[in-house]
Structure 1
Amino acid sequence: MAKKAEQRRKQILKAAFQAASEKGYESVTLQDIADYADVSKGVTNYYFKNKGDVFAHLFEWITTRIYEKEAESVEEKNTALEKLDAYLSQVFISPSENRTFYRVYLDFLSQVKNDDRYKEINQRFYENCWSIGEQIIQQGIKEDAFQVEDIQQAAKSIRAMIDGSLIQWLMRDDDELHKDYRKMCYDSILRILSR
C-alpha cells in the first residue's frame, strides 16, 4: 500500500513539474495538476494540502534528485579535474532538460519570499551543491591542481558560475550555445581555482 501511495505522489509531482514548465507557477491550479496527472482533484488533495504543498514537495524532490545525480557523477571519477568535468557534464545535461528545470526553478525562486519552506529547501540544495564543490576543491589542492585560499567561498563561486551561465544561456534562447556556455563556465571555474 505504501508503495502505491509513493507512486501516486510521484505521479502528481511529475505532473506538477510539467504543468509549471508549460504554464508557469502562478497560472497552475490544483485542477491543472490533477489534469496533467490524469487523476481527480480529490486525489491531489488527498496527498497534498494545497498548491504550495505540492510545489514544496516537488522542489524538494527535484533538488534532491539533482544533487544525488551530481554527487554520483563526481564519485565515479578519480582526479579533481575529472570530477569537475563530470560535475559540469551532469549540470549541463542537455538544452531541453536545462531549459525545463531552470524555467521552473526561476519561477520557484520568485515564490521564496512567500514561503519559508521554499527558502529552506533552496538553502539545503545550495549547501549540497557547495559540498560537491568543496570535495572537488579539497582533492584538487591535495593533487596540487588548484590553489585556493578560501575553500567555502570558492565552492560557492563554482555554483554561482554554474547557475549564472545556465540562466544567461536560457535568456539567449539558443540551444546551439549550450556547449559554449558549458565551456565558458568550466574555463571560468578553472581560473577561480588556479589563482
Structure 2
Amino acid sequence: MTDETIDEIMGATYRALCKHGYASLRMQDIADESTKSKATLHYYYDSKHDLLCAFLEYLYDSFAERIAEPTGEDPVEELTALLDCLLTPRDENTHQQFQTAILEIKAQGPYDETFREKLTRFDRLMHDRIEGVLREGVESGHFAADVDPDGTAEFLVTILNGARSRYVAVEYPLDGTRTMLRRYVESSLLADGSGREVVAE
C-alpha cells in the first residue's frame, strides 16, 4: 500500500469517526469518505477493528511528531509550551466530535487488549516527553531538586487525560485546566530563587 493510499484511508477514517462515532461506524461509512470502495478497504483490512488499530498507529506517529515540536529557551518554557500543546485542539471544527469517538475507543480498553496496548503507548509517550523536560529542568536548576520527574509526569498525564475526557463529556473548557497547570508549575515545580513567573494566558 502506498503512503498516498494510507493517508487517504486514514483521513477518511478520521472524518467518518467524527460523523458517526466509534459504536456506529461501519466500513461503508469510511468508504463513503474516500475514493476507495468498501471492498478495497476489506482488501487491506479484514475488519473495522483492524482498520481502527492501524488508525491508532497512524495517530501515534502524528502525535509523536506534534509533541516533539514545543521548545523554549529553558525547561520551564518548554514544559509550559508542551502542556499548552497537549491542551490545544488541532482542529476546532471537528475536535470535540473526534475526541468523543476516541473516548468511545478508550472505553473498549478494558475489554480489548489490542486497543489497550495501543492506547497505553500514547500515555507512555506523553509521560516520557514530560519526564524528559522535568529531568532536564531539575538537572539545570530550573525546577526544584526534590521534584520527582517520573511521578510528576504520571500526575500531569492523568490531569491531561482527565481534562480532555471532561471536555468531551460535559464540555468543561480546556482553558481552565491550562491556567491551573501554569499555576501548578509556578507554585510547585520551580526552584527557589529562580525568578521565573509562568504567566497564565
**Fold shared, TM-score > 0.5 on shorter chain:** yes
Identify which range, 6-15 or 91-100, moves more after superposition.
91-100
Structure 1 counterpart of 2:168, one-letter code = L
Identity %: 22
What TM-score do the two structures reach when normalised by structure 1?
0.84
Q: Tell me the equivalent position of 2:26.
A: 29
- Match of 1:25, SS state, is coil
Q: Is the 8 A contact 1:29 1:51 kept in 2?
A: yes
Superposition map of 1:81-120 within 5 A: 81-94=76-89, 96=92, 98-120=95-117
Shift of 1:53: 0.6
Cα separation, partners in 2 of 1:29 and 1:79, compared to 1, 3 Å: same
Match of 1:182 in 2: 178
TM-score of the two chains, using structure 2 as the length reference: 0.82
Aligned-residue RMSD, C-alpha: 2.3
Q: Give the drift of 1:149.
A: 4.4
1:24 positional shift: 1.3
Q: Which runs of 5+ in 2 are unaligned?
A: 192-201
Any unmatched runs of 5+ in structure 1? none
Alignment CA distance shift 1:168-1:47 (3 Å): same
Equivalent residue, structure 2, for 1:40 = 37
How many angstroms does 1:63 deviate by? 2.5
CA contact (8 A) 1:56 1:118 kept: yes
| Deviation of the 1:130 alpha carbon | 0.7
Match of residue 52 from structure 2: 55
Maintained 8 Å contact 1:154/1:193: no
Count, aligned residues: 188
> 3-state DSSP class of the match of 2:23?
coil
2:175 & 2:85 partners in 1: Cα distance?
13
Q: Which has the higher helix share?
A: 1
* Conserved 8 A contact 1:15-1:36: yes
Task: Assess if the C-alpha contact under 8 Å between 2:147 and 2:189 holds in 1.
Answer: no
